[in-house]
Structure 1
Amino acid sequence: MDTQQNTALTRALTEIPGPLPARGVIHIAIRHTDRFTVVGNDLAQHPGLSTTAVGFAVRIQSLPQGTEVGVKALAARFPEGEKLIAAALRELETHGYLQRARTRLPNGRIVTRTVFCNQPAALLRTRVAAAPPQQASAAPQFRAPVPASVPVPARGPGPALAQAPARGPAPAPAPKPEHPVPDAPVPEASVPQDHAPFVPLVPPPTAPKSPRPPLPRPRELTPELERISTALLSDLHHHSPEFTLSEEHVHRLVPGVAAWLERDTHPDTIRHALTTNAPEPVKYPYQFVKHRLTALLPPPVHRTTVTPFQTCDGCERAFRAATPGHCRDCRTGHAHEDQQAAA
């Protein structure tokens, strides 16, 4: 098999036009028609990237959209180890080729989204500033063309030279316009701006972030709510070992759980909302639980006050009232009797 490949390379060298270089690499470029990836020289010859980082950048570019490119996913696909892959990804992230951001999905799960750009320098490219256009003159000059067959007389003080006879009639002078025609106006969009600043297409990684919303709190933290909330948070590690919270963290998160309980949320529902679809592994359980208690807080319960039924002490008829007593008819009858007795 090696002999066939060497023979093919030797035959291909004889077909290259022109003299071959005496030293160095000789390229035999065969045009790709399918399954190829375009790689720029700014990446292939990047002076600040290692060969490993460049190789993984090419491999990431060749993968389809939506393919997992985390450290573990690349280690399962390629023979390099996780440490070497992690170092290469950090190099690409430092030079702007790779960006990794944690994003929360609509179902509450937090995932890592990886964005790869093959030309990071093009995202911060400056606008080309051209020279401002010259103002058009108020009265443009019109000069009639001079035919080649008509000689130009000398301007010196001596006698004029003999002029050769014209071969044809002299052309008529160009008519002078009565009103000067101004130049066409330049569109505003085409006029460049002087000293154009950088125009970043993406926000820098050090852009200020909006403050996080505070942990919800109940209207009144009763001892019963505090007891149930503490028991729920302390018991999370029995359902998911990743959610092992310290005593201080449990004390801080108690008001958030109490706010859920105050809105008629069952403890099992709270436990399911905090631990379902969690990332693997959960590096910071306190921050994760605090985020879900804040972001997934259910709406408050609007209760409608219903006036209870009472039994009339006089006629034994049912009527609605906040306290026991007489119905409206009995109260009216008693009032009429009192008026007659007073008269």
Structure 2
Amino acid sequence: MDTKQNTALLHALTELPGPLPARGVIHIAIRHTDRFTVVGNDLAQHPGLSTTAVGFAVRIQSLPQGTEIGIKALAARFPEGEKLVAAALRELEAHGYLQRARTRLPNGRIVTRTVFCNQPAALLRPRVAAAPPKQAPAAPQVTAPVPASVPAPARGPALARGPALAPAPKPEHHAPEASAPEALAPQAPAPQDHAPFVPLVPPPTAPKPPRPPLPQPRELTPELERISTALLSDLHHHSPEFTLSEEHVHRLVPGVAAWLERDIHPETIRHALTTNAPEPVKYPYQFVKHRLTVLLPPPALRTTVTPFQTCDGCERAFRAPTPGHCRDCRTGHAHEDQQAAA
């Protein structure tokens, strides 16, 4: 059977005005009337984003407000896996299209709030305050006392044509004529200064504190150095992502030795370094150094136990740092010495 060909596009090409290009893509643009999303070329043709990241940005932009767009939610909605979704979200976050922040709700619950912006570059542009709409100058009002016998002129269409007023009898005391030109002169609106630049992206509240140094042992003995080197070199057998170079192993040996010096078993150290690690571990040296520093256990409390000794006089057991006599024998010998001296 022959494969059915869709000839609708070929018929549409005949209706395009003008000559068609000899090569390259030919666009047949049909105007959308419903269910469409506007995507800018700054996103569609972004040179620093992968095609996967651009695709997820378009999909996120097309979702309604309030839709969950976490890694697991997107992986369940679309055919891509969680690793591919996580890589695309990291790209969008690095270029400013996506921002994820942990927020505490009024009830005390902590949630992750995700914000997507279709034009992150526009957030850094200076904002200009909108000028108030210009109002037409009000018609001047010339007031003069009117005798009680003369009715006041009706306010009609004659006032809408301009400042010309109907003739009225001259009163005995009228406003000076010099004030009329001042009233008729329209006041120029005050120049509006541009509002200062107000960035929408808040600056960091405070500089980050320096990272704590790698813990050091009181004394790096050859035995501690040997065990630490073997533990670090063997990490990649348990987790392939923790492959360390020889130089990195040499730098991390003091940190592991500080743990061993505190009576921590090597298997416990290996479990603390590799458990619940992010996927993937991009910088294993920095990750191991961070965990050796922040997860350092407290030093073990050593209690000195006084050993038992056997009394040389009565052969009773008593606690003392060195052999000798018990308290009763020492008291008896002291009493005998006093009597002999007397």
Question: TM-score band, normalised by the shorter chain?
Answer: 0.5 to 0.7
After TM superposition, the structure 1 stretch with the greater mean CA deviation from structure 2, 140-149 or 60-69, is 140-149
SS at match of 1:3: coil
After TM superposition, the structure 1 stretch with the greater mean CA deviation from structure 2, 54-63 or 174-183, is 174-183
Change (3 A) 1:229 1:94: closer
Q: 2:99 touches 2:116 (CA, 8 Å); kept in 1? A: yes
Change (3 A) 1:192 1:147: farther
After TM superposition, the structure 1 stretch with the greater mean CA deviation from structure 2, 111-120 or 285-294, is 111-120
Shift of 1:127: 8.2
Change (3 A) 1:174 1:99: farther
Q: 1:138 touches 1:180 (CA, 8 Å); kept in 2? A: no
SS at match of 2:254: helix
Give the Cα separation in 2 of the matches to 1:312 and 1:183.
130
Matched length: 337
Give the Cα separation in 2 of the matches to 1:181 and 1:304.
106
Change (3 A) 1:223 1:23: closer
Q: 2:144 touches 2:175 (CA, 8 Å); kept in 1? A: no
Shift of 1:225: 1.0
Give the Cα separation in 1 of the matches to 2:195 and 2:310.
85
After TM superposition, the structure 1 stretch with the greater mean CA deviation from structure 2, 85-94 or 10-19, is 10-19
SS at match of 1:143: coil
Change (3 A) 1:160 1:211: closer
Change (3 A) 1:40 1:220: same
Shift of 1:200: 4.6
SS at match of 1:203: coil
SS at match of 2:126: coil
Give the Cα separation in 1 of the matches to 2:105 and 2:161.
88
Give the Cα separation in 2 of the matches to 1:139 and 1:113.
55
Shift of 1:287: 1.4
Shift of 1:272: 0.7
Q: 2:140 touches 2:163 (CA, 8 Å); kept in 1? A: no
Give the Cα separation in 2 of the matches to 1:100 and 1:150.
77
Q: 1:149 touches 1:167 (CA, 8 Å); kept in 2? A: no
For 1:157-195, what per-residue CA distance to the aligned partner results, in whole angstroms no more than 9, with x for missing partners?
x9999xxxx999999999999999999999999999998
Query: TM (normalized to structure 2)?
Result: 0.55
After TM superposition, the structure 1 stretch with the greater mean CA deviation from structure 2, 248-257 or 143-152, is 143-152
Give the Cα separation in 2 of the matches to 1:223 and 1:207.
43
After TM superposition, the structure 1 stretch with the greater mean CA deviation from structure 2, 48-57 or 174-183, is 174-183
Change (3 A) 1:186 1:213: farther
Shift of 1:255: 0.3
After TM superposition, the structure 1 stretch with the greater mean CA deviation from structure 2, 266-275 or 233-242, is 233-242
Change (3 A) 1:264 1:171: same
Change (3 A) 1:137 1:232: same
Change (3 A) 1:174 1:267: farther
Shift of 1:298: 1.0
Give the Cα separation in 1 of the matches to 2:67 and 2:158.
88
Q: 2:144 touches 2:174 (CA, 8 Å); kept in 1? A: no
Shift of 1:18: 30
Match of 1:309 in 2: 308
After TM superposition, the structure 1 stretch with the greater mean CA deviation from structure 2, 209-218 or 14-23, is 14-23
Give the Cα separation in 2 of the matches to 1:187 and 1:224.
103
Change (3 A) 1:128 1:66: closer
Shift of 1:333: 1.2
Give the Cα separation in 2 of the matches to 1:20 and 1:148.
85
Change (3 A) 1:321 1:302: same
Change (3 A) 1:225 1:45: closer
- The percentage of counterpart residues that share the same residue type is 91
SS at match of 1:54: helix
Q: 2:146 touches 2:171 (CA, 8 Å); kept in 1? A: no
Give the Cα separation in 2 of the matches to 1:256 and 1:179.
101
Give the Cα separation in 2 of the matches to 1:277 and 1:184.
88
Q: 1:140 touches 1:181 (CA, 8 Å); kept in 2? A: no
Which ranges of structure 2 fall in alignment gaps of 5 or more residues? 183-187
After TM superposition, the structure 1 stretch with the greater mean CA deviation from structure 2, 271-280 or 61-70, is 61-70
Change (3 A) 1:12 1:247: closer
For 1:197-229, what per-residue CA distance to the aligned partner results, in whole angstroms no more than 9, with x for missing partners?
545565558985432211111111112111111
Change (3 A) 1:51 1:205: farther
After TM superposition, the structure 1 stretch with the greater mean CA deviation from structure 2, 123-132 or 29-38, is 29-38
After TM superposition, the structure 1 stretch with the greater mean CA deviation from structure 2, 286-295 or 144-153, is 144-153
Q: 2:139 touches 2:162 (CA, 8 Å); kept in 1? A: no
Matches within 5 A, 1:110-121: 116-117=116-117, 120=120
Task: Note the aligned Cα RMSD (angstroms).
Answer: 11.1
Change (3 A) 1:100 1:283: farther
Shift of 1:306: 2.5
Compare relative contact order (CA 8 Å, sep 6+) and give the higher one, 1 or 2: 1
Shift of 1:280: 2.7
Q: 1:111 touches 1:279 (CA, 8 Å); kept in 2? A: no
Change (3 A) 1:28 1:151: farther
After TM superposition, the structure 1 stretch with the greater mean CA deviation from structure 2, 185-194 or 291-300, is 185-194
For 1:228-281, what per-residue CA distance to the aligned partner results, in whole angstroms no more than 9, with x for missing partners?
111111111222222222221111110000111111110000011111122233
Shift of 1:38: 11
Shift of 1:332: 1.3
Q: 1:234 touches 1:250 (CA, 8 Å); kept in 2? A: yes
